[in-house]
């Protein structure tokens, strides 16, 4: 039995077997209550992960110190895609304001500037402390560049998994920064084939568009590939950006924005080159077509049907134009 079926059995089905009458209105629990219970279970799971992480750090003998957030440099390799609407971050700020910072961040001493630090993981907690004007609780370790990157990637996977496009951009950013494939594989806890697929998709997606869409956690590789294919159409990027300018999307989640862009591109019909006529040679085969587009008219000859005829016509253009004017046509427009 699935988890969903189990919940339905417990809360949604009417108690017909017992034969006991139940008051009207209490036949089932509202779906809102189920959603609230799901949110509570998720929060309990997150709290359990935090407690386990803190217990592990304490068991390893790590000393926790308070550091001024202004002394900590943010990672030069971005993994999360920032969004204008981030309810989870707002909740984190409220939680730290009320209960304090429960899990320390991990930093290393800056190899370039004495007295400064570089963040390995915990960037959202660092941002929250900055916003609240508090010192950030941190563990300080001597980490190599590779260790720093792996710690950053693994912490994201352990706490809240990156979306497909975030993994893709993280892998691409690491490669652009000069990281070898072994380090990238360790940071994302995957294999070489997956890393190649992540990077291939990321290199096809415009950064500006992905930042406007956001992480879109429900959209996997197949849908991002479909979007990348659509963006190869002429003027597709402009169409996508117009779709995102819709005021109704300003407070929408990133998956809704992704759907809006993909739907806008799927509804675009390929432009058919307009034609105003076809000329057939005496044998009945098409010898030329006349096309009109964007204020221009073109006479396109079929070389296989009428070879060299285009050169002949080109040599007769002056005579043809004079005949055209003599017939009272071709006067200049006022």
pLDDT in tens, 97-140: 998 998 898 999 998 899 999 998 888 889 899 999 999 999 99
DSSP H stretches of helix in 161-235: 164-176, 181-188, 192-202, 207-213, 221-230
Name beta bridge partners: 288: 279, 301
From edge to edge, which strands make up the β-sheet containing 72-73? Answer: 64-67, 136-140, 105-109, 117-121, 72-73
- pLDDT at site 303: 86
Measured between alpha carbons, how far is 179 from 1 in angstroms, rounded to an integer?
A: 45
Task: For residues 106 and 118, give the distance between their C-alpha atoms in angstroms, rounded to a whole number.
Answer: 9
Instruction: Name the stretches of the chain with pLDDT < 70.
Output: 1-62, 78-80, 82-87, 155-161, 267-276, 294, 329-334
Length of the chain: 334
Q: What's this model's pTM, rounded to 2 decimal places?
A: 0.52
pLDDT of residue 52: 56
Rounded Cα distance between 207 and 244, Å, is: 14
What is the sign of the dihedral through the CA atoms of 167, 168, 173 and 174?
positive
Whether the CB-CB separation of 125 and 93 falls below 8 Å is answered with: no
What the block records as the tokens of 149 is: 């990157």
Residue 145's contacts (CB-CB under 8 Å, 6 or more residues apart) are: none
- 117-150: b (≥16 Cβ within 10 Å) or e: bbbbbbbbbbbbbeeeebebbbbbeebeeeebbb
pLDDT in tens, 289-327: 888 776 778 888 888 888 888 888 888 888 888 888 888
C-alpha dihedral sign at 160, 256, 90, 110: positive
Instruction: State whether residue 168 is helix, strand or coil.
Output: helix
Cα 118 versus chain centre, distance = 27
Closest C-alpha to 283, from 270, 259, 255, 302: 302
Hey, what are 50's tokens?
Answer: 């935090």
Judged by DSSP in three states, 261 sits in helix
Kind and range of the H or E run holding 278: strand 275-280
């Amino acid at each position: 039995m699935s988890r969903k079926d189990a919940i339905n059995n417990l809360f949604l089905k009417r108690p017909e077997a017992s034969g006991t009458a139940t008051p009207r209105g209490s036949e089932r629990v509202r779906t809102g209550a189920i959603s609230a219970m799901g949110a509570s279970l998720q929060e309990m799971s997150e709290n359990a992960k935090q407690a386990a992480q803190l217990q592990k750090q304490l068991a390893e003998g790590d000393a926790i110190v308070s550091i001024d957030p202004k002394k900590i440099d943010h990672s030069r390799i971005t993994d999360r895609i920032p969004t204008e609407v981030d309810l989870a971050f707002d909740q984190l700020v409220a939680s730290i304001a009320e209960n304090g910072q429960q899990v320390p961040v991990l930093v290393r001493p800056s190899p370039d500037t004495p007295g400064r630090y570089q963040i390995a993981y915990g960037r959202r907690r660092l941002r929250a402390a900055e916003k609240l004007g508090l010192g950030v609780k941190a563990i300080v370790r001597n980490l190599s560049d590779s260790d720093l990157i792996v710690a950053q990637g693994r912490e994201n996977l352990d706490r809240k998994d990156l979306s497909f496009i975030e993994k893709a951009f993280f892998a691409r950013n690491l490669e652009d920064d000069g990281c070898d494939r072994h380090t990238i594989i360790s940071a994302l806890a995957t294999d070489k084939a997956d890393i190649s697929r992540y990077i291939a998709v990321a290199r096809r997606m415009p950064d500006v568009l992905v930042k406007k869409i956001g992480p879109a956690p429900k959209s996997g590789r197949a849908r991002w590939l479909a979007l990348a294919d659509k963006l190869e159409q002429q003027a597709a990027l402009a169409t996508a950006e117009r779709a995102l300018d819709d005021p109704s999307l300003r407070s929408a989640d990133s998956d809704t924005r992704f759907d809006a862009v993909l739907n806008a591109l799927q509804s675009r019909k390929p432009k058919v080159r307009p034609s105003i006529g076809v000329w057939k040679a005496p044998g009945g085969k098409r010898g030329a077509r006349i096309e009109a587009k964007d204020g221009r008219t073109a006479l396109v000859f079929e070389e296989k049907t009428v070879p060299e005829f285009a050169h002949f016509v080109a040599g007769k253009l002056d005579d043809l134009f004079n005949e055209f004017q003599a017939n009272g046509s071709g006067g200049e427009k006022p």
